[in-house]
C-alpha cells in the first residue's frame, strides 16, 4: 500500500498485471479494512506477541509486535521468533513493526470449518504499508500469511527498510563450509521455495574431511560492517520447512531436528500418533493406518496425496544437529559467496561464476525455476523468479536492482563472489 503505484511495482508495457507485486492505494486499503476488521475477533482471545527478528539486542535485528486471534500463530511464532519480556525490555520506547492478524471468523461460527482451519478465504487480505511500518492480514490462518514475522516482515517490509538504511533483506539460506585444511567460509544462497534450500542448508557432505554447518535455511539480513565485510544474520529462530520430500535419505539433519518440540501442519497422521507425508520413505508398522490432511482414512490407492503439497514442519533451529556455533552471533557471520539457483530441466550449467558484482546482479535478476506448491499450486511450469524474491519484493523491482548495484560503490566493501547453480 503506497501513494504511488510505481513505488510498489513496475508497470508492464502492455498495461497488464505485474508479476512482481500487487498495489493498492491508501484510500482503497482503508475501505477494505473497514469492511473486514470491525468485530472480527468477537468471541476469540486476542494475543499480543512482542518478537525480535534476529538475536535480541543485535545491531542487525528488528522488533515487531503482532496482535492475533489465532493460538496456532502464537505457538508458531514462539518457535520462529524470539518473543516475550526480553523483547519488550530491548524495545523500550523504540520503533517497531506493527502486525495485525485475524482469521476473520468471529464466534459463534456462521458456517462449519473446513478441515478444522478457522479462515475466511473469500475476504482474505494481506497488506503491507511500508511508510507506516505496518502489516495487516485478514482471513488466512496459515503459514506466512499469519506468522507475520516471516515473509511479510522479514522480506517485504524489511527489504524496504534495508533499502532506506543501506543493507539487504533476502530470501537466502546461510551456511558455513569448512574444508579439510580447517578453513571455513560462509555463503548465502537464493532458491525459490521447495527447490532444496533447506536440504542445502543442512547438507551432509560426502567428500571426506569437509564439514557443513547451518546458520539459516530461508532468510538472510546482510549488512557491511566497518571493515567492509558483508555480515549476515538469520532473523528467524526456527525452520518452517516443506514436509513432502523430506526424509532420512534427502535430509537426515532435518528429520533429526523435527523429532521433538515441532508443530506439523496439513500433514497426514498415523494411528500410532506419528506423522506422514509423500517422500518420507518410512514403512509403517503392520496394522498402522493413515488419516490424510483432510481428516479422512487414506491409502496409497486413493489417487491423491495424504499430505498437502505445501504442508509444513515448524521446528526450533537450535535443535538442528549441525547448527553453526555462530548462528546467533549479534554481529553476524562474514559472507564470502552468494549463490543463485533453481530447478531448470535443460539449458543451464550445473554451476558457473559471475564475472563481476554487476554481472552477478544480472544473473540474480534472470533467475528462472519450476513453479512451486508454495508459490503457485500449479504443475511444473518454468517461471521467472528474480533473486527468488518474486513473491516477496517490498518495493519496485527496478529500484531493488539499483540498490543491489549500489553495493559495489561502497568505499572499502569486500564484495562476495557470485555463482549460479542448477540442480
Hey, where are the domains in the chain? 5-165, 168-234+327-421, 240-318
**pTM for the whole structure:** 0.94
Residue 111 exposure: Cα atoms within 13 Å on the Cβ side: 6
Question: Which backbone phi and psi does 314 adopt, to 5 degrees?
Answer: -120, 110
Which mean pLDDT values do the consecutive 10-residue runs of the chain (423 residues) have?
89 76 92 97 98 97 98 97 96 96 96 86 96 97 93 97 98 98 98 82 96 97 97 97 92 96 97 96 92 94 94 97 98 98 89 98 93 56 91 94 97 97 90
Q: Are 161 and 154 in contact (CB under 8 A)?
A: no
**Spatial CA neighbour of 52 closest among 30, 85, 24, 29:** 85
Query: pLDDT tens digits, residue range 69-90?
Result: 999 999 999 999 999 999 999 9
- CA-CA distance, 414 to 423, in Å (whole number)? 28
Note the pLDDT of residue 265. Answer: 95
Note the pLDDT of residue 101. Answer: 98
**Spatial CA neighbour of 192 closest among 379, 374, 393, 352:** 374
> Is 5-165 CATH 3.90.79.10?
no
**Spatial CA neighbour of 404 closest among 418, 420, 421, 391:** 418
Note the pLDDT of residue 344. Answer: 86
- CA-CA distance, 328 to 337, in Å (whole number)? 20
> Under DSSP, is residue 169 helix (H, G, I), strand (E, B) or coil?
strand
For 168-234+327-421, CATH number? 3.90.228.20
The CATH number corresponding to 240-318 among 1.10.640.10, 2.170.8.10, 2.60.40.1180, 3.40.50.10330 equals: 2.170.8.10
Note the pLDDT of residue 373. Answer: 52
> Under DSSP, is residue 403 helix (H, G, I), strand (E, B) or coil?
helix
Note the pLDDT of residue 374. Answer: 52
Note the pLDDT of residue 370. Answer: 78
Question: Which backbone phi and psi does 159 adopt, to 5 degrees?
Answer: -65, -35
Q: Are 162 and 168 in contact (CB under 8 A)?
A: yes
Exposure of 89 by Cβ count < 10 A (0-12 exposed, 13-18 middle, 19+ buried)?
A: exposed
306 in active site: no
Note the pLDDT of residue 246. Answer: 93
Query: pLDDT tens digits, residue range 108-129?
Result: 999 888 877 899 999 999 999 9
**Which cell numbers hold the place of 263?**
508443530
**Spatial CA neighbour of 261 closest among 238, 235, 290:** 238
- CA-CA distance, 137 to 124, in Å (whole number)? 8
**Spatial CA neighbour of 45 closest among 65, 72, 67, 69:** 69
Catalytic residue among 99, 105, 119, 195: 195
**Spatial CA neighbour of 410 closest among 225, 175, 201:** 225
What count of other Cβ atoms lies within 10 Å of the Cβ of residue 68? 26
In the numeric block, the cell 516471516 is attached to 150
Note the pLDDT of residue 5. Answer: 87
> Residue 406 region, left (φ>0) first, then alpha (ψ -120 to 50), else beta?
alpha
Strands 333-342 and 417-422 come out as parallel
Q: Residue 382 forms beta bridges with which residues?
A: 370
Ordered DSSP codes for 332-370: -EEEEEEEEEE--SSSS-SEEE-SSHHHHHHHHHT-EEE
What count of other Cβ atoms lies within 10 Å of the Cβ of residue 277? 24
- CA-CA distance, 41 to 36, in Å (whole number)? 10
Start-to-end C-alpha separation, the chain: 37
Amino acid at each position: 500500500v503506497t501513494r504511488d503505484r510505481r513505488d510498489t511495482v513496475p508497470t508492464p508495457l502492455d498495461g497488464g498485471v505485474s508479476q512482481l507485486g500487487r498495489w493498492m492505494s491508501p484510500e482503497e486499503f482503508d475501505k477494505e479494512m473497514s469492511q473486514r476488521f470491525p468485530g472480527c475477533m468477537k468471541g476469540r482471545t486476542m494475543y499480543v506477541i512482542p518478537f525480535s527478528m534476529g538475536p535480541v539486542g543485535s545491531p542487525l535485528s528488528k522488533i515487531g509486535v503482532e496482535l492475533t486471534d489465532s493460538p496456532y500463530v502464537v505457538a508458531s511464532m514462539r518457535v520462529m521468533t524470539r518473543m516475550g519480556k526480553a523483547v519488550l525490555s530491548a524495545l523500550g520506547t523504540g520503533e517497531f513493526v506493527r502486525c495485525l492478524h485475524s482469521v476473520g471468523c468471529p464466534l459463534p461460527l456462521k458456517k462449519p470449518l473446513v478441515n478444522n482451519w478457522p479462515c475466511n478465504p473469500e475476504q482474505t487480505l494481506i497488506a503491507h504499508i511500508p511508510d507506516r511500518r505496518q502489516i495487516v492480514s485478514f482471513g488466512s490462518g496459515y503459514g506466512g500469511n499469519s506468522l507475520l514475522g516471516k515473509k511479510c516482515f522479514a522480506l517485504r517490509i524489511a527489504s524496504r527498510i534495508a533499502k532506506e538504511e543501506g543493507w539487504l533483506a533476502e530470501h537466502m539460506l546461510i551456511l558455513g563450509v569448512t574444508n579439510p585444511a580447517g578453513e571455513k567460509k560462509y555463503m548465502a544462497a537464493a532458491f525459490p521455495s521447495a527447490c532444496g534450500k533447506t536440504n542445502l542448508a543442512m547438507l551432509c557432505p560426502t567428500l571426506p574431511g569437509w564439514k557443513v554447518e547451518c546458520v539459516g535455511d530461508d532468510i538472510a539480513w546482510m549488512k557491511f560492517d566497518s571493515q567492509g565485510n558483508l555480515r549476515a544474520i538469520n532473523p528467524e529462530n526456527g525452520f518452517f520447512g516443506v514436509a513432502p520430500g523430506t526424509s532420512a535419505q534427502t535430509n537426515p539433519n532435518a528429520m533429526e531436528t523435527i523429532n521433538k518440540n515441532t508443530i506439523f501442519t496439513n500433514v497426514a497422521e498415523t494411528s500410532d500418533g506419528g506423522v506422514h507425508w509423500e517422500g518420507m520413505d518410512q514403512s509403517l508398522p503392520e496394522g498402522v493406518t493413515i488419516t490424510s490432511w483432510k481428516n479422512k482414512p487414506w491409502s496409497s490407492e486413493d489417487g491423491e496425496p495424504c499430505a498437502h503439497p505445501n504442508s509444513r514442519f515448524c521446528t526450533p533451529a537450535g535443535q538442528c544437529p549441525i547448527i553453526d556455533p555462530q548462528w546467533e552471533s549479534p554481529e553476524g557471520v562474514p559472507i564470502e559467496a552468494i549463490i543463485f539457483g533453481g530447478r531448470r530441466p535443460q539449458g543451464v550449467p550445473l554451476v558457473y561464476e559471475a564475472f563481476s558484482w554487476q554481472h552477478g546482479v544480472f544473473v540474480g535478476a534472470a533467475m528462472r525455476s519450476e513453479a512451486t506448491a508454495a508459490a503457485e499450486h500449479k504443475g511444473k511450469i518454468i517461471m521467472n523468479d528474480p533473486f527468488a524474491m518474486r513473491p516477496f519484493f517490498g518495493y519496485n523491482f527496478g529500484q531493488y536492482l539499483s540498490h543491489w548495484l549500489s553495493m559495489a560503490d561502497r568505499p572499502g566493501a569486500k564484495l562476495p563472489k557470485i555463482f549460479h547453480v542448477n540442480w
